[in-house]
Amino acid sequence: MTAQFAHRHLLGIEGLSEHDITALLDLAEEAVEVSRQVEKKKTTLKGRTLINLFYENSTRTRTSFSLATRRLGGDTIDFTAVGSSVSKGESFIDTAKNIEAMGIDAVVVRHTTPGTPQLLAQHLGVSVINAGDGPHEHPTQGLLDILSIRERCGRIAGLTVALVGDIMYSRTARSNIWGLKKLGAHVILCGPSTLVSQQWQEIGVEVAHNLDEILPRCDVVNLLRIQFERQATRPFPSVREYALLYTMNGERLERAKNNILILAPGPINRGVEVTPEVADGPHSAILEQVNNGVAVRMAVLWQLLGQ
């Protein structure tokens, strides 16, 4: 692996250049090969400790960061707000500074409040990695989605990629938008008008509300989970109606391009965003996305801590 990344933190994809994104994707491809070897463990992060500072539930992201750290020879510690000094009144920053004083090398943070990783980066001397801040960004998820597209399609530039579903509340959508646009893809945001604002056109993406109309033009469809937990009121009359208009099913697949690629960042709601026959079919890269998640996080850790 070679270092080509001039950042101390990974706070979002919006602040990265095309070169930065490509460097991380190239490193992640090398990490994919490492993961295929019988001996997967390296010593790149030997003696380094990373803390997973998660203030929001997570299974795959936290596990993926832990596995990536261990494959590079480092150690991980999990921290949750439940039962911590935060519940006794200590401020978030004071808690983070106390953890930093124990000699850690990086913080992976997930929080419901947008901008939390940026706030931590201002107060801590170690690297901060954004593992999802409210509806703002989820940069490693965006990178692994883009890596999965590049693996299957061989390129990003010139592709038409539709992000379908809950754009308003999706941090994954924002990271995908910034990354895909910087690498030259045409991005379409598709979903109910209550979840897909026309204002997105101001940054150069196409906005659509009818999946059947745009589907024949798409090379990739990324099906975003409906973020029910972040919505104060339901943005459409019923889940059944949403499924009728936006679920990727076998009938829609027959009307798409022969080589269309289906992504879903997960966890997926089968029957809502995608039917089982499509999720488990040959066009789907859903499990490849999970595998690529470990590789992308290995690449990020290598670039931030491996020098």
Residue 58: what pLDDT? 87
Global confidence as pTM: 0.93
pLDDT for residue 3 is more than 60? no
Q: What is the mean pLDDT of the chain?
A: 92
Task: Return the percentage of the chain with pLDDT > 70, whole number.
Answer: 94
What would the pLDDT profile of 12-59 be if each residue is shown by its tens digit? 999 999 999 999 999 999 999 888 887 878 899 999 999 999 999 888
The number of residues in the chain equals 307
Stronger pLDDT, 271 or 202, i.e. the higher one: 202
pLDDT for residue 224 is more than 90? yes
Residue 236: what pLDDT? 75
pLDDT for residue 136 is more than 80? yes
Tell me the mean pLDDT in the region 245-272. 93
Tell me the mean pLDDT in the region 6-13. 96
